[in-house]
């Protein structure tokens, strides 16, 4: 078979456009089978069994399938814990947003060459264990700890007490763990906001505050929503902070699961609590996916 040299350039030009069946694919679709089998067996079945367990074991057999969920939502004590879980989530999210937004704004608009340093300091705590950070707050917020003494010297607290066993410690530690996620979520979106929009607003006579609330903030809402949902979901799932700080005064759903497991061993009820927690997490993420799709961003 001979190739006509004259026609070669034309043939080459046509080549990239001719990809029968789309681009070359190294991987066959069967390559997904092992991981699907693994996750099917060790992820889907256990979670499914957990749902079954919450509906058809122990009291659920004798008193109706939804007895555990009824107890969780109807009993005043457990309803109080659900309310507490929601409250802690909302407060931690709001604090992270208010404290984190200015940092994200500074990183994008002012930090310049310091940006790398800020990102490093934000990410560095993620390399430390959650126990280390919680322990750190116990040291700083102890009765004779530096923060407590400082607040006392400034007259903000009447007499030094162990702040680590005060509910405020839970919020401090939660915000400390979660605010980096908020800052990075917001700064990622803020980077896409054209600074000229803000400049135009200023040139046209709007003050800095009006510019922020009418231009910058609305344009960065994507990042705010992503950050808030992330922080809220992670707060719902964390129990170590509440276990080691706050003196046992902040009891949330996750902490209750931990305690139920360690003490009561009521498997059906523990499973029901876990499912509720899972349901809330999935609902939040569905909300986020919907939000991102509306913005035309592929998650």
Partner 1 sequence: MTPPAAYPAPGGAGAPAPRRRRRRPNWAALALGAYVVAFLGFIVAPIAAVVMVSFSTASFITFPIPGLTLRWYWRIIEYRPFVDAMIVSIEVALASTLIAAALGVPAALALARARGAASALLSNFLLAPITVPAIVLGLALLYFLASLSLGLSFTALLIAHTVAGIPYVVRTVLAVYRALPPDLEEASAVLGATRWQTFRHTTLPLIRPGIFAGGLFSVLTSLDNLPLSFFFGSASTSTLPVVMLSYMENQFDPSIAAVSTVQMLIAVVALVVTDRLYGIEKLTAA
Phi, psi of 123, deg, nearest 5 = -85, -30
CA pair distance 136, 122, nearest whole angstrom: 16
Residue of 11, 61, 264, 282 that binds partner 1 (CB under 8 A) = 282
d(CA 85, CA 81): 6
Residue 260: CB partners within 8 Å, gap ≥ 6?
266, 269, 270, 273
Output 28 or 159, the one with its CB closest to partner 1. Answer: 28
Comparing CB distances to partner 1, the nearer of 29 and 62 is 29
Task: Pick the piece of the chain touching partner 1 (CB under 8 A) from 65-73, 155-163, 216-224, 271-279.
Answer: 271-279
Query: How is the chain split among helix, strand and coil, in percent rounded to 5?
Result: 80, 0, 20
Residue (86 or 261) nearer to partner 1, CB: 261
Shortest distance in whole angstroms from residue 158 CB to partner 1: 22
Report the alpha-carbon angle 190-283-170, nearest 5: 70
Between 196 and 225, how does the x/- string for binding to partner 1 read (CB under 8 A)?
x-----------x-----------------
Taking the complex as a whole, the smallest distance from the CB of residue 50 to partner 1 amounts, in Å, to 4
* Nearest CB to partner 1, comparing residues 76 and 226: 226
Q: Which of 152, 278, 291, 292 binds partner 1 (CB under 8 A)?
A: 278
The verdict on 244 binding partner 1 (CB under 8 A) reads yes
DSSP 52-69: HHHHHSTHHHHH-TTHHH
Q: Which of 58, 66, 71, 136 binds partner 1 (CB under 8 A)?
A: 136
- Distance, in Å, from the CA atom of 140 to the CA atom of 156, rounded to the nearest integer, reads 16
Tokens, residue 7:
């026609």
- For position 131 contacting partner 1 by CB under 8 A, the verdict is yes
88 sits near partner 1 (criterion: CB under 8 A): no
Q: Which of residues 17-76 bind partner 1 (CB under 8 A)?
A: 22-32, 34-36, 38-39, 42-43, 45-47, 49-50, 53
Q: Can you read off the two tokens belonging to residue 17?
A: 């456009």
Angle between helix axes 76-109 and 67-74 (nearest 10 degrees) is 70
* Interface with partner 1, residue 86, by CB under 8 A: no
Q: Which residue lies nearer to partner 1 by CB, 42 or 83?
A: 42
- What DSSP line would sit under 182-207, residue for residue? HHHHHHHHHTTS-HHHHHHHHHTT--
Least distance to partner 1, CB of residue 157, Å: 17
């Amino acid at each position: 078979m001979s190739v006509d040299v004259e026609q070669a350039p034309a043939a080459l030009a046509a080549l990239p456009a001719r990809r029968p069946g789309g681009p070359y694919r190294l991987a066959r679709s069967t390559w997904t089978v092992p991981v699907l089998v693994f996750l099917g067996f060790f992820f889907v079945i256990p979670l499914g069994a957990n749902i079954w367990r919450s509906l058809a074991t122990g009291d659920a057999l004798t008193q109706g399938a939804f007895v555990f969920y009824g107890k969780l939502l109807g009993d005043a004590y457990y309803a109080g814990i659900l309310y507490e879980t929601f409250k802690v989530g909302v407060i931690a999210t709001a604090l992270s947003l208010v404290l984190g937004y200015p940092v994200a704004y500074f990183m994008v608009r002012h930090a310049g060459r310091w940006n790398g340093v800020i990102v490093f300091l934000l990410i560095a705590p993620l390399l430390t264990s959650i126990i280390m950070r919680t322990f750190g707050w116990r040291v700083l917020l102890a009765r004779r700890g530096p923060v407590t003494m400082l607040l006392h010297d400034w007259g903000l607290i009447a007499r030094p007490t162990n702040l680590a066993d005060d509910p405020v410690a839970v919020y401090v530690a939660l915000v400390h763990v979660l605010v980096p996620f908020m800052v990075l979520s917001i700064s990622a979106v803020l980077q896409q906001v054209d600074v000229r929009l803000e400049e135009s607003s200023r040139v046209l006579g709007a003050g800095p505050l009006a510019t922020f609330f009418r231009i910058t903030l609305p344009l960065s809402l994507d990042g705010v929503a992503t950050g808030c949902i992330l922080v809220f979901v992670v707060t719902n799932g964390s129990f170590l902070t509440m276990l080691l700080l706050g003196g046992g005064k902040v009891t949330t759903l996750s902490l209750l699961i931990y305690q139920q497991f360690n003490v009561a061993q009521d498997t059906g009820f523990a499973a029901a609590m876990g499912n509720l927690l899972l349901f809330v997490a999935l609902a939040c993420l569905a909300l986020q996916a919907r939000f991102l799709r509306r913005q035309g961003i592929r998650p």
